[in-house]
Structure 1
Amino acid sequence: MDSYPQSPLTTSMRSPEKLTYDHATVHAILDEGYICHVAYVADGLPRVLPTAYGRIGHTIYIHGSTGSRAFLTGRDEGLDISLSVTLHDGVILSTSWFHHSANYRCVIAHGRARTVTEPDEKWAGLAAIVDALAPERSLQSREPTTKELAQTAVLALDLESVSVRSRSGGPNDDPDDIGSPYWAGEIPLRLVPGAPRPAPHAHGTPPTL
């Protein structure tokens, strides 16, 4: 299959035309993003964790301290989460307040994240997170020590219940508003890396993003 299966969690009663499920689109958005937001429940309260992530095939990896609330909550039986990555492509300004919007591409995944205990998978997951920040960065920086590995937990979410929600194009103004004196249109947005700022102790050539 080239698409993720639809489920009650990944369908919508409103604007279903904005949803897609194909692997290529999901993976392209995940590979372009840098930060995901992980929603979970701990101590009976909803929480959101913004964090870096990495992808290997159909699995997303996130990391954190072994003593953090999210990782303690999911240490034994896993952690039920919703994970999202959003790319903001443009601001949509309409003639009316009602139709102001945004162009975006968003991956939303649901499932039970598992604590990675197998050493090779944990190592690969951490390398994927580092490489997602800068290509091949795991080969251009010091590997973690045994102590650092012991202090770091890795959660893995297998992509099974996942969808893409997106919007593109200009404003959807009402016909009665056409010809009004207000400007309407799209202001495109894109994330652009700036010039590297080396640390005082930096050596070598900075990576290219």
Structure 2
Amino acid sequence: MTFSLLGRCARTGQFGAAVTTSSIAVGTRVPFLAAGIGGVLTQHRTDPRLGPRGLDLLRSGCSAEEAIAALVASTPHHRWRQLAVMDAAGRTAHFDGANVKPERGVAHGTDVVALGNILSSPRVPEAMAAAFLAAPDQPLTERLLRALEAGEEAGGEHGDVTSACLLVVHRECFPYVDLRIDKDPRPLPALRRLWEEYAPLADGFVRRAVDPDDAPII
């Protein structure tokens, strides 16, 4: 009941994730990112413990493939998990457990991995990755949003999505962007509107943290 992606901007070094699903609070359970390290998605029957565990594996020097293998080996319930990992170099890997329900799919590309389960079509992740790759000069946030929108246009999941999130990390230990929509009949348009309101403020909030003497009034 979820489609999502991890993306990297080679120009800025940002990592990002975008997710939507039919259940509440997807932003608390699926995407996990660390600046300069990479990201993890844990979905289907989500286990949020696997996100921090995966980031620790990446910090220890594991590649995306090695981190996925270790995550699968670490959980006795891997047959229920759908996982994706991106490492600091933008390399990607994924895992589909035997009990992950169809339609399911995954698409890998340069600096992107998109995947989903209980989809209307296995082509949904391909549409997401293609949209991400089609706009390399756009900011990472815009590429992630376009990818989610393309996934919905390609059929999305079975049933209506009601929650979505946009998460981006840059240089700091806290997110550059962490926006969430819950219990909305049209979460993707709502997420885009929220980002458009937040976008002119994002750098200012970072400045408030790192240089409050020279921070803008927001």
Q: TM-score, normalised by structure 2?
A: 0.23
Greater RCO, CA 8 A, separation 6+:
1
Q: TM-score, normalised by structure 1?
A: 0.24
Larger Cα Rg: Structure 1 or Structure 2? 1
